Amino acid sequence: MATEDVLQAIPHRPPFLFIDEVVEESEDSLTAKRFVPESEAFFEGHYPGNPIMPGVLISEAVFQAGAIYLSKLLAADIEADPDLVPVLTKISDARFKSIVRPGDTLTINVKYKEKMGRFIFMNGSVQNQDGKKVMTVSFSVALAKAA
């Protein structure tokens, strides 16, 4: 799934889009990629001279991958009501294990845990291009009416 398909799956847009492509999908998981360019504006002020990607933005990449997974899982519901959008409803156990720097390529994985009512619970993880774990997190996403 290329960037154009990502744009169709979720409402996020640059400069707040942190998924470049989906590289693998299965019934219970999704894997995406994100190249972190040196030109990202947040690097100017987040540790000038020693640029580090903010953890909250690494987390956002995971949540966007979860939203893409949700859009596939609940495609029939979204087709029936196009005003539904994926929203984050819970974050827990976020753990940051290594730093992301300009030029890194992230592999973002989300895995389905369970569905309770309208909430989809997932686990997420991020690795860098060397296979080193960057972060792990548990979270939930649901569909909500757009404003």
CATH superfamily of 3-145: Hotdog Thioesterase (3.10.129.10)
For residue range 35-84, what is the model confidence (pLDDT) as tens digits?
Answer: 999 999 999 999 999 999 999 999 999 999 999 998 888 887 888 888 88
Which of 7, 42, 46, 102 is catalytic? The answer is 46
**Structure tokens given for 74:** 């609940």
User: What's the mean pLDDT when you consider all of the chain?
Assistant: 93
Q: Is the pLDDT of residue 130 over 90?
A: yes
Contact 36, 15 (CB under 8 A): no
Domain ranges of the chain: 3-145
Q: Please enumerate in sequence order all residues whose Cβ is within 8 A of that of 141, keeping only pairs 6 or more positions apart, or say none.
A: 63, 66, 67, 70, 86, 87, 88, 89, 119, 120, 122
Cα(88)–Cα(63) distance, rounded to whole angstroms?
Answer: 7
Q: What is the pLDDT of residues 17-31, one digit of tens each?
A: 999 999 999 999 999
Instruction: Report which of residues 74 and 105 the model is more confident about.
Output: 105
Model confidence band, residue 142 (pLDDT cutoffs 50, 70, 90): confident
Q: Is the peptide bond before 15 cis (omega within 30 degrees of 0)?
A: yes
19 in Cβ contact with 11 (< 8 Å): no
Model confidence at 11, pLDDT cuts 50, 70, 90, reads: confident
Catalytic-residue membership of 46: yes
